[in-house]
């Protein structure tokens, strides 16, 4: 008992009382040392939001000021800074490039930011769910309209096609979307509006929707499912079983817009500048009579020639619109130029190569023929009416 009493003596350095006391002191110290994050006061949050709006307002004011002074700056740059002879071919080309390059890039940045916000509302999963189970006639119209607000490029053609078909979207409805999404997108419409006005933009949108809706409906009526690669239908409907999507705040959507600007503008700007450079060369060096002789409304073969020229080209709306602007300025007919633009964006050879992964060659030929026929009709129609 004496030994046991000595072992449990209160004064022992290893006694349980001291152990409990040290543990309690450590817990208290850790509690005091851990800072507690308190939410910012309401007046600080209001001040932060006010500062953000002030920055946005200043940025918009600077954007408008620079945009409105691009033309006089381009004139000064060519004639005064570089001392080029006014009216010369080189001066006209340089002036066109210096004016159009920042103009298109500024428009493109604003548009892509809006596209990123729109993309946050229309994800591929949500688009598939909207179109799944729709009948062909209504589905073609809905798919064409959804293509306007869902900026998916031709690189997304294969995964979108697989996702649509495996979730029950009819083949013709799928093609209406695949035609509309790259051809009639908000980037093309806003750039056309900024460069040519709302009439040309609405004209392009209307004709593009007619081609997308009509082309998809015709392909659906032909019942060409047998020419889709068999492995597509054997795939599981990936992504269709998504139960819900996280709710996004406007700050999150704005962040997606900034990400879209960084990703999209960061990738396409060389093509945009290349297109503007080609447009500058056309504007400065190609005689107006020559362009009118091969792309004017009086030449019957100008529309099919424009379509054939556009098919092997690989570009997007941002890169091709400066070339369109230069062609129109040199006397090319509007219908011919629209046919050229539509063939580049909606009927390009690279897209056909991508689609070959999921479609057999006969269906690709039918797809190209239906869309090409619609583009030819649009070209001839507007050359006659306008």
Least confident stretch, 95-99, 164-168, 208-212, 380-384: 164-168
Q: Classify burial at 235, counting beta carbons within 10 Å of its beta carbon; exposed 0-12, middle 13-18, buried 19 or more.
A: exposed
- Mean pLDDT is lowest, of 146-155, 260-269, 364-373, for 146-155
Please state whether the predicted TM-score (pTM) of the whole model is above 0.75: no
Answer whether residue 321 shows pLDDT above 50: yes
pLDDT of residue 251: 76
pLDDT at 2: 43
Instruction: Provide the token pair at 314.
Output: 């690989």
Q: What is the pLDDT of residue 211?
A: 92
CA-nearest of 205, 223, 140, 210 to 175 is 140
What pairs with residue 359 in β-bridges?
228
pLDDT at 245: 54
Please check the confidence at residue 239 and state whether its pLDDT lies above 60: no
Q: What is the mean pLDDT of residues 342-363?
A: 83
What percentage of residues in the chain have a pLDDT greater than 70? 77
For the stretch 207-224, pLDDT in tens is 989 999 999 999 998 988
Higher pLDDT, 294 or 5: 294
Tokens 């060659």 found at: 361
Kindly indicate the confidence band of residue 4, based on its pLDDT and cuts at 50, 70 and 90: very low
- Per-residue model confidence (pLDDT) at position 296: 77
Please say whether the beta carbons of 149 and 113 come within 8 A: no
Please give the pLDDT value at position 185: 72
On whether the CB atoms of residues 100 and 70 are closer than 8 A, the answer is no
pLDDT of amino acid 242: 41
Question: Residue 305 has which token pair?
Answer: 């020639």
CA-based R_g, the chain, Å = 30
Q: What is the pLDDT of residue 304?
A: 92
What residue ranges do the domains of the chain occupy?
A: 55-121+254-273, 124-240+286-385
HEC readout, the chain = CHHHHHHCCCCCCCCHHHHHHHHHHHHHHHHHHCCCCCCCCHHHHHHHHHHHHHHHHHHHHHHHHHHHCHHHHHHHHHHHHCCCCCCCHHHHHHHHHHHHHHHHHHHHHHHHHHHHHHHHHCCHHHHHHHHCCCCHHHHHHHHHHHHHHCCCCHHHHHHHHHHHHHCCCCHHHHHHHHHHHHHCCHHHHHHHHHHHCHHHHHHHHHHHHHHHHHHHHHHHHCCCHHHECHHHHHCCCCCCCCCCCCCCCHHHHHHHHHHHHHHHHHHHHHHHHHHHHHHHHHHHHCCHHHHHHHHCCCCCCHHHHHHHHHCCCCCCHHHHHHHHHHHHHCCCCHHHHHHHHHHHHHCCHHHHHHHCCCECHHHHHHHHHHHHHHHHHHHHHHHHHC
| pLDDT value of position 199 | 85
> Which of 12-21, 30-39, 307-316 is modeled with the greatest confidence?
307-316
Number of residues written out for the chain: 386
* Backbone dihedral angles phi then psi of residue 359, each to the nearest 5 degrees: -120, 145
Give the mean pLDDT of 288-298. Answer: 75
**Buried-state track 83-109, b at ≥16 Cβ within 10 A, e below 16:** ebeeeeeebbbbbbbbbbbbbbbbbbb
pLDDT of 110 higher than 60: yes
- The 10s digit of each residue's pLDDT in 165-207 is 777 788 888 899 888 887 887 777 877 887 778 888 888 889 9
Higher pLDDT among residues 280 and 29, named by residue: 280
Q: How confident is the model at residue 39 (pLDDT cuts 50, 70, 90)?
A: low
């Amino acid at each position: 008992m004496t030994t046991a009493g000595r072992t449990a003596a209160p004064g022992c350095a290893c006694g349980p009382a001291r152990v409990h006391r040290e543990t309690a002191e450590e817990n208290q110290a850790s509690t005091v040392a851990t800072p507690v994050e308190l939410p910012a006061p309401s007046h600080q949050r209001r001040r932060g939001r006010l500062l953000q709006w002030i920055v946005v307002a200043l940025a918009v004011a600077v954007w408008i000021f620079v945009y409105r002074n691009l033309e006089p700056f381009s004139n000064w740059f060519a004639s005064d800074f570089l001392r080029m002879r006014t009216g010369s071919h080189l001066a006209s080309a340089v002036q066109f490039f210096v004016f159009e390059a920042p103009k298109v890039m500024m428009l493109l940045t604003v548009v892509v930011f809006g596209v990123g916000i729109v993309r946050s509302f229309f994800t591929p999963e949500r688009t598939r769910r909207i179109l799944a189970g729709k009948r062909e006639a209504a589905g073609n119209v809905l798919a064409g309209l959804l293509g306007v607000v869902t900026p998916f490029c031709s690189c997304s053609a294969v995964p979108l096609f697989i996702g649509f078909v495996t979730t029950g979207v009819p083949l013709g409805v799928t093609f209406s979307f695949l035609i509309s999404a790259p051809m009639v997108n908000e980037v093309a419409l806003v750039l056309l509006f900024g460069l040519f006005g709302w009439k040309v933009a609405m004209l392009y949108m209307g004709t593009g929707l007619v081609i997308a809706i009509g082309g998809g409906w015709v392909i659906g009526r032909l019942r060409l499912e047998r020419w889709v690669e068999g492995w597509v239908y054997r795939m599981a409907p990936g992504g269709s079983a998504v139960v819900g999507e996280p709710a996004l705040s406007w700050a999150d959507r704005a962040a997606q817009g900034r990400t879209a600007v960084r990703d999209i503008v960061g990738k396409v700007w060389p093509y945009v500048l290349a297109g503007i450079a080609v447009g500058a060369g056309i504007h400065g060096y190609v005689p107006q009579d020559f362009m009118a002789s091969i792309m004017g409304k009086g030449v019957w073969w100008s529309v099919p020639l424009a379509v054939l020229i556009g098919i092997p080209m690989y570009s997007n709306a941002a890169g091709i619109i400066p070339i369109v602007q230069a062609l129109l300025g040199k006397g090319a007919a509007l219908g011919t130029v629209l046919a050229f633009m539509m063939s580049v964006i909606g009927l390009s050879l690279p897209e056909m190569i991508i689609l070959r992964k999921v479609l057999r060659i006969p269906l690709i030929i039918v797809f190209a023929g239906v869309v090409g026929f619609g583009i030819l009709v649009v070209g001839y129609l507007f050359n006659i009416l306008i």
